[in-house]
Structure 1
């Protein structure tokens, strides 16, 4: 990747033979006079794991919505597996944030996974009760949730619920997994478990992963490339290329230091910059102070 160019001009360096799992060409997203990102080119290969980072308001979730067909680009194109992004695309599995289940909601884990078959959420579904049952059971087995899938969601831990949301996303055998902060509110053990389930799927089925997160460290060993969005600009590359003092200082127009401590990234800075850099797992430190 070329350093020193204008960030918004940084091109995606990967070349893919045949249809990319995800392809954005000249993608621009604006709301009124505010541009979240401009002229974004991105090709995601089958089986590739992309982490999408950036502060709140940088357009990470909006990118998910565009690929899901819920939001249109201001200009440019977005395609999934060679076809324009659209609502109800069966090539996509979607994993949302872990959410609180309201007390009294009569929905079992197996019912949640079944919604991915019936098309109530993402996908068009299949005919036949026997086929439906087989696919649901296989997806639940893939995430190791057989023991608790028959229980009501409100009785489950956050980690158990999120494993079933992964199963729901996988039940349609998607080519692309869109993950919108799926580790949020989970403890470290469940963060690791959910991340490993997603990583195993992409390795065994060549499923591409776009993973929005506010903390790269739980998935750092899994990531092939990072897409970092900030203030209308972007940078694409490997974690070693993007998560550097030079790149983040250029993005934020102030000094930012990136350290590696016991295999984890620690981003160090002061003041308002750290509020934005929370998306990178930043440490808010006094000048010249470093905390791991």
Structure 2
């Protein structure tokens, strides 16, 4: 895997939405998507179920047509650069044959789904070993997937996405149904990919807590529009409460760690976040809302 962190400052934006909208049938999922996601960033797509998080990722992969506007990924229209994108679907562990070994599964990232007898080159085996070593599963190469824990299978899925040296890694709910230690291990792999290789990473996530240390920004779907903001702006109690439709408290520990909690039952020595309402309004502010206000 090649490092491209050295030219991080010179790299153009990785994903660019220009007044993009998506429909499913006649139903408008979201519209007025107008933002850019920087190269070298770690971004979460957040929001409640049914708001269009996975739809957004599928749009970026060119799997769903736009109803209007444009989406460019890695400098080209969505779908054209998918060979340089590593994708880890939410259903990976249930979709793939559990009789495959970890090594065979990772190899599929190079050979596609051509089962049966086909020649595997030394170079391909070396790439597979490199990806498995990076994700910490080289010693599990000959284990069948059915013998591995959910956390280890998730790392197999990430290794499979890495063997083609992607510039962008996209993961749909990678921490779902994993125990705490497994979640930490997966986040650690993502942190190394970003810091050591300069890889741009995007994660669909329902719970932000475990990802907070590595996130640089978030795409959030609010009032039918997708927005992008740096994490300090997204981590606001009022905005998150609006996003999730329930009371959400953002708290900061004395060590500076942030947590998003669904209840106000924090310990007494925790300092809550201090964004005021006017700040929230600023990062939920764009021209479409102004037009709407003038029209009323």
Change (3 A) 1:234 1:256: farther
* Match in the other structure for 2:101: 108
2:233 to 241, 247, 261: 241
1:290 aligns with 2:265: yes
Classify the secondary structure of the residue corresponding to 2:62.
coil
> What is the CA-CA distance between 1:291 and the residue it aligns to?
5.3
Residue 202 of structure 1 is matched in structure 2 by 194
Would the aligned equivalents of 1:44 and 1:208 in 2 still touch at CA under 8 Å? no
The Cα offsets for residues 232-267 of structure 1, whole Å up to 9 and x where unpaired, read as 133422222122133245557x78452305334334
- Which residue of 256, 260, 263 maps to 1:266? 260
How many residues are matched?
Answer: 252
The Cα shift of 1:111 comes to: 0.8
**Cα deviation, residue 150, structure 1:** 1.1
The answer as to whether partners of 1:25 and 1:77 remain within 8 angstroms in 2 is: yes
Which residue of structure 1 aligns with residue 215 of structure 2?
A: 223
Within 5 Å, which residues of 2 pair with 1:107-146?
Answer: 107-120=100-113, 129-146=121-138
Partner of 2:172: 180
Shift in CA distance, 18/220, structure 1 to aligned 2, threshold 3 Å = closer
How far the C-alpha of 1:87 sits from its partner, in A, is: 6.6
SS in 2 for 1:234: strand
Cα distance change on mapping 1:148 and 1:192 into 2, 3 Å: same
The answer to whether structure 1 residue 46 and structure 2 residue 21 are counterparts is no
State yes or no: 1:190 paired with 2:164. Answer: no
Uncovered stretches (5+) of structure 2, i.e. residues with no partner:
1-8, 268-296
Measured in 1, the distance between the counterparts of 2:89 and 2:260 equals 26
Inter-partner Cα distance in structure 1 for 2:201 and 2:102: 24
2:287 corresponds in structure 1 to: none
1:62 and 1:98 map into 2 onto residues whose CA distance is 15
Checking the alignment, whether the CA contact within 8 Å between 2:36 and 2:228 is kept in structure 1 is no
**Mapped partners of 1:194, 1:173: distance in 2:** 18
Distance 2:86 2:235 in 1: 28
**Displacement after TM superposition at 1:120 (Å):** 3.6
Q: Is the 8 A contact 1:175 1:208 kept in 2?
A: yes
Mapped to 2, the partners of 1:104 and 1:91 lie a distance apart of 25
Residues 143-197 of structure 1: per-residue CA shift (max 9 Å, x gap): 1111112111111111111111110111110010111000101111110110110
Any stretches of 5+ residues in structure 1 without a counterpart?
1-15, 122-126, 268-281, 284-288
3-state DSSP of counterpart to 1:222: coil
Superposition TM-score, scaled by structure 1 size: 0.77
In structure 2, what is the equivalent of residue 91 of structure 1?
84
Question: Which residue is 2:52 aligned to?
Answer: 59
Q: Secondary structure at the match of 2:12?
A: coil
Could you say what the CA RMSD is over the residues aligned between the two structures, in angstroms? 2.7
Report Cα offsets for 1:93-145 as digits up to 9, x if no partner. Answer: 01223655589842110111011111349xxxxx9612211111111111111
Distance across 1 between alignment mates of 2:160 and 2:120: 18
